[in-house]
Structure 1
Amino acid sequence: MDNKISGVLLSAGKSERMGEMKALLSLKDKLVIEKLIEEYLNAPIDELVVVVGFNGEKLESVIKSLFPTDKVRIIHNEDYEQGMFSSIVKGVGSATFDNILLGLVDNPLINSEIINKILKAFDFEHIVIPSYNKRGGHPVLFPKFIKDAILSSKYETLREVFDSFKDKIIYIDAPIEVTIDMDTKEDYEKILRYLEGGSI
């Protein structure tokens, strides 16, 4: 059994509601993409695939200058305008290993402690979804049969895939950070306040 894990981090969208690239916003002294990649690499995963799309060359050059390591691979999704699932398919299809930890640049507060908790709950047979107050969040971790389903062309969203395998989902209690999305300027300002010790 392949017990290695590929991280897949999606950062391909146009960030239209934000008005600028989420990945290149600053969180304290680091860029969002920098902080997230650091946190993923601080967890025991075997590689990290970052999917870029809109302004992909710019983002790739930033990532490569910050992380000159073979453990981080950058994949371009030319079809990013088709939506998030196209980036999921591209990232999952490019992953070296069968087990996938899938995260989003929209969740900038994810840290290695949260990732480790998700990894600890993984038995290589179930989907692990972190949740706070019964609300599911990211990143999610899944085994080979979900990877195969995503690549099968039968589905159009990740929710459809998970709905087909409801009996295979394990929810684990996680902190509020797993549910914090950053889609708008207001969201970004809230996150900055939170990092300064405020509440969400």
Structure 2
Amino acid sequence: MISAVVLAAGTSRRMGRPKPLVKLGRKTILQHVVANLEASQVDQIVVVLGFGAEKIIPTLKGMSCQVVVNPQYILGMSSSIRCGLSAVNPQARAVLIALGDQPYIPPEIVDVLLRRYQKEDQKIVVPLYGGKRGHPVIFGRKYWPELRALKGDVGGRELLHRHAQHVLEVEVGQEGVLADIDTPSDSRKRGL
């Protein structure tokens, strides 16, 4: 079993409004992220919300995800990772950490990463596009204590450096693994 944790708790300072509510066509950015994961082979989807959660929760009704609210989202990404991990099924042997502002990652790419992880159990699997690392990243269960120990506004990148010999990089040929939406100009560039 592999669970997905979608990090969508941030304050969206640069965007000026909650990013999970920004529309991309008929759906919000976050609805696209969750829908792509629903169509993939992940076994569970946990969405971590914080800032603006009361407005975002109704947009996820009817989707196959569990929503958890991080009351300490202001402490940074590490607190959202801990919050998400606490909701993951105890039977999960790995967690795929996805970002709530990356709607351009199709389920086929997620499935490629899942298959590679299943062949290389207990590794860290990270997608590449043009030689650059992106998201989502899969962490085997043995790395969870270190993920839980992270402090401040840092994510799993620290573990990628610490365990470089265990990182399996997978070239995916899909720019979506790098493309996030942080500012109004990002959304205009992408036609939002």
Q: TM-score surpassing 0.5?
A: yes
Partner in structure 1 of residue 39 of structure 2: 42
Cα RMSD after superposing both structures: 1.5
Residue correspondence of structure 1 range 134-149 to structure 2 within 5 A: 134-149=131-146
Counterparts in 2 of 1:37 and 1:154: CA distance versus 1, 3 Å: closer
What amino acid is the match of 1:163? H
Moved more, 164-173 or 53-62: 53-62
Partner in structure 2 of residue 121 of structure 1: 116
CA distance in 1, matches of 2:106, 2:24: 13
Kindly report structure 1 stretches of 4+ aligned residues shifted beyond 4 Å: none
How far does residue 155 in structure 1 lie from its aligned partner after superposition? 5.6
Q: Could you say what secondary structure the match of 1:192 adopts?
A: coil
Partner in structure 2 of residue 165 of structure 1: 163
Partner in structure 2 of residue 198 of structure 1: none
Partner in structure 1 of residue 70 of structure 2: 77
Give ranges in structure 2 of 5+ residues lacking alignment: none
**1:14-36 CA distance string (max 9 Å, x none):** 11100111111111121111111
How far does residue 192 in structure 1 lie from its aligned partner after superposition? 2.2
Moved more, 39-48 or 141-150: 141-150
Counterparts in 2 of 1:104 and 1:121: CA distance versus 1, 3 Å: same
Give ranges in structure 1 of 5+ residues lacking alignment: 194-200
TM-score (norm 1): 0.87
Partner in structure 1 of residue 181 of structure 2: 182
CA distance in 2, matches of 1:35, 1:108: 5
CA distance in 2, matches of 1:58, 1:94: 21
Residue correspondence of structure 1 range 15-34 to structure 2 within 5 A: 15-34=12-31
Q: Could you say what secondary structure the match of 1:177 adopts?
A: helix
Q: Could you say what secondary structure the match of 2:191 adopts?
A: helix
How far does residue 136 in structure 1 lie from its aligned partner after superposition? 0.5
| Identity score, percent | 30
Counterparts in 2 of 1:127 and 1:189: CA distance versus 1, 3 Å: same
TM-score (norm 2): 0.90
